[in-house]
Amino acid sequence: METAEIRRRWLSFFESRGHTVVPSAPLVHDDPNLLFVNAGMVPFKPYFLGQETPPYARATSVQKCVRTLDIEEVGKTTRHGTFFQMNGNFSFGDYFKEGAVALAWELVTTPQSQGGYGFDEKDLYASVYHEDDEAIAIWKRVAGLPDDRIVRLGKKDNYWNMGVAGPGGPCSEILIDRGPEFGADRDWEAGDRYLEFWNLVFMQDDLSAVRAKDDFDIAGPLPKRNIDTGMGLERVAYLLQGVDNLYEIDEVFPVIAAAEELSGRRYGANLEDDVRFRVVADHVRSALMLIGDGVTPGNEGRGYVLRRLIRRAVRSMRLLGVDAPTLEHLLPVSKDQMRASYPELERGFGRISQVAYAEEDAFRRTLTAGTTILDVAVTKAKSSGSATLSGSEAFQLHDTYGFPIDLTLEMAAEQGLNVDEAGFRRLMAEQRDRAKADARSKKMAHGDVSVYRQVADSLGRDVEFTGYDEVVSDSRVRGLIRGGELVSTAHAGEEIEVVLDRTPLYAESGGQLADRGRIRLANGALIEVRDVQKPINGLIVHRATVLEGEAVTGDDAEAVVDVVRRRSVSRAHTATHMVHQALREELGETATQAGSENSPGRLRFDFKAQSPVPLEAMADIEAKVNSVLLDDLAVTADVMSLDEARRMGALALFGEKYGERVRVVSIGDWSIELCGGTHALRVGQLGVVKLLGEASIGSGVRRVEALVGSDAYTHLAREAAIVGQLTDQLKVRTEELPQRIASILSKLKEAEKEIAAVKQAQVLGAAPGLVATARDIAGVTFVSHDAGDGVTADDLRALVLEVRRRLGTDRPSLVSMAAVSNGRPIVIVATNDRAREAGLKAGLFVRTAAQVLGGGGGGKDDIAQGGGTDASMVSAALGAVEQQLHQRGA
């Protein structure tokens, strides 16, 4: 049974039994404690924590997940991968243990011909929490399992909690006996014989403290009991497909097959290569899914995880013997296997592949740079008589330059050196411990939203936002929060948070900054609003200061928006939509939004692109936007279902959480996007949009900034004044200014070339005299020279080559020169053909000199260059080259 079919049957089964099918949330989820969604229940966590009221009593999903704790262990075991899919069914105060067991047993054991998975009942076991006699009775009654096929396990295995105070409860797992070839009979913990593939969590306890997985305090029962189950899709796939592990299922193995073809090696031939093949298959698929959900490579957070996955895949292919680029062959294979379940991968593959291939190219350059750094470290170790590269050097290569430890081990061995791997692992462990400590501190930092939940519950409904239609609204104060606590009154000078039952003030979201304004109470109190936020879904909170009088909960109020600021922000937000559309028209559909900020009169728009936008293209984009302004298109907003919006072609953003009803903002029929922000009524109200330029803000992400309306006009007026000053000073008309400046720059460049030529001629003029100083050392004509301060590397190189030319080709010759340029020493060594025939390689001599200078170097056998940091050691460096030549002849 194909993996996509297992997925389809799951959703169909539970939908037919009253569950709402919830689409997978993006891997990047709005949870501050997680880099990625790492379990099927994560999108439902606010319901389990009581932070939000679930809109359904039963739900089911197949959730995309990524776990990153043990990336380096991927491939070494056959059950764990970075990306995986978790089938889940959930009950929020509806059915409980018996319902969950009955549903699970029915789906698992129903024959495949009747829509089930068709597992043989005689191979199935159940594990239960050892104190949960109720669950044991249910398994006997519902599934007919005898005592010898029900396993009692302790807290560590069969009690679930979130690692923090909150909901928890016993759980029960369905296991399958894979047969004696996978392990000993009744050995529940060792081996792969009794494989758990479905976990049913009976969430019934309120935990007051959690010290460890098996050490916690139970405060009492939860007000409502919930069900959270998870079935590993990949695990069930390899059980039903008759293969040994997740790497051999239909969605994964084709990548291994493609890697086999590229490398000429075979999966299953040896364990070392098998691990590499698995790493490639897992990481290519994981990278595909992460980029598909909007992640781009970077040096921290989610971007760093993606970068690491791509680099490990590329490195593994290199260790399989493939030096050429490989993702262009592997990524399309993975896409073809995953698109049945995730058709958006096909639509977005142009962008996905562009990001992935650019990262592979960057890493290949890193490998080249890392090789040079490694060469210096190896030479340093050898010169000191050591046979081992230190752990700190290996760690620096890994941590600073992204050079994988496996590659360091391999290349050091080629040079006859060991690596202090234990020291490297110790430094890695220290770094990992720091990361885990940071993660633990973040995990315990769940914001206390109980006070907001309390206010929301008292309201009994969402706060009504009226700001689309009005800027002044009558309302009532439904809550005052001061210092994190609910209060009934607040006095002049106090900082408070105000909850109204309805408000025209926009809460910051979707890149649009919050409104500012004032709230006037019926009793005369005046409150100044400086920020508006949504701490939990459905609740709008005004962060404010009491200016006059006493604010009182329950009092009638009038909320007023700062209209001038709102209009300025709305114009900027409208311009953002226009810039986005114009970018897509100019650069293609891969130029999708990656973030934005709309502030008064100014916008910042981030978009996906692998290379700079040409100036001509930027000019065309700006012209297009301002041309549409002249058309004065109407800006309209309509609320509809998500499916309707998609059929209209409305753009949705990666990582955004959309409900079933969405707001679609249209600019004529030119631009259609899902958006909850405020906008101008017509684009003509924007006046003018001026793009300030674009730049890179990270791998694969670029940023455009622009001014709108009066801010744009002021900027243009200032630029016009500058142009006027330049035309006065250069005595030309405005249209002649670019040509005149270009002429001045050209003359300046020519003058610089002439100066450089004169300086080089002066340097080369020393060549005849230097040839006259040549000495014979061990049968080699040798010239050494300190060119002093102020000589560039190019001039010194030219002098070295000129002296070598004048020495002729009749006998071996070696030229060694040094200089100081901009305070840093450089050294260049050159040899002729006869010298190289005698085994004299310029690179070996330049490394010797560069070490004395406190640096490194390298190059070809005929000419090599190095440098360092200690300019006072130039004479000593040249002396070291001469000494090395003497030793060779000894």
Which residues sit in the known binding site for Zn(2+)? 573, 577, 675, 679
Amino acid at 816: S
DSSP structure class, residue 509: B
Task: Identify the helix (H) or strand (E) that includes residue 8.
Answer: helix 3-15
**Length of the chain counted residue by residue:** 890
Residue 613, CA distances (Å) to 167, 350, 378, 608, 610 in order: 51, 17, 42, 11, 9
CA 826 to CA 442: how far, in whole Å?
48
Identify the three-state secondary structure at position 493: coil
Residue set of the binding site:
573, 577, 675, 679
Nearest to 559 by CA among 546, 572, 542: 542
CA 383 to CA 379: how far, in whole Å?
6
CA 258 to CA 731: how far, in whole Å?
67
Task: Identify the helix (H) or strand (E) that includes residue 788.
Answer: strand 780-789
Nearest to 634 by CA among 583, 669, 594: 669
Is 32 exposed, middle or buried (CB count within 10 Å of its CB: 0-12, 13-18, 19+)? exposed
Task: Pull the structure tokens for residue 399.
Answer: 């941590």
CA 385 to CA 435: how far, in whole Å?
36
CA 556 to CA 324: how far, in whole Å?
71
246 within 8 A of 83, measured Cβ to Cβ: no
Is 531 exposed, middle or buried (CB count within 10 Å of its CB: 0-12, 13-18, 19+)? middle
Task: Pull the structure tokens for residue 508.
Answer: 């910051």
Region of 504 please: left (phi>0), alpha (psi -120 to 50) or beta. alpha
Is 315 exposed, middle or buried (CB count within 10 Å of its CB: 0-12, 13-18, 19+)? buried
Task: Return phi, psi of residue 526, to 5°.
Answer: -125, 130
Amino acid at 358: A
Rg of the Cα atoms in the chain: 34
CA 641 to CA 660: how far, in whole Å?
6
CA 8 to CA 645: how far, in whole Å?
24
Identify the three-state secondary structure at position 638: strand
Per DSSP, the residues of 318-363 read: HHTT--S--HHHHHHHHHHHHTTT-THHHHTHHHHHHHHHHHHHHH
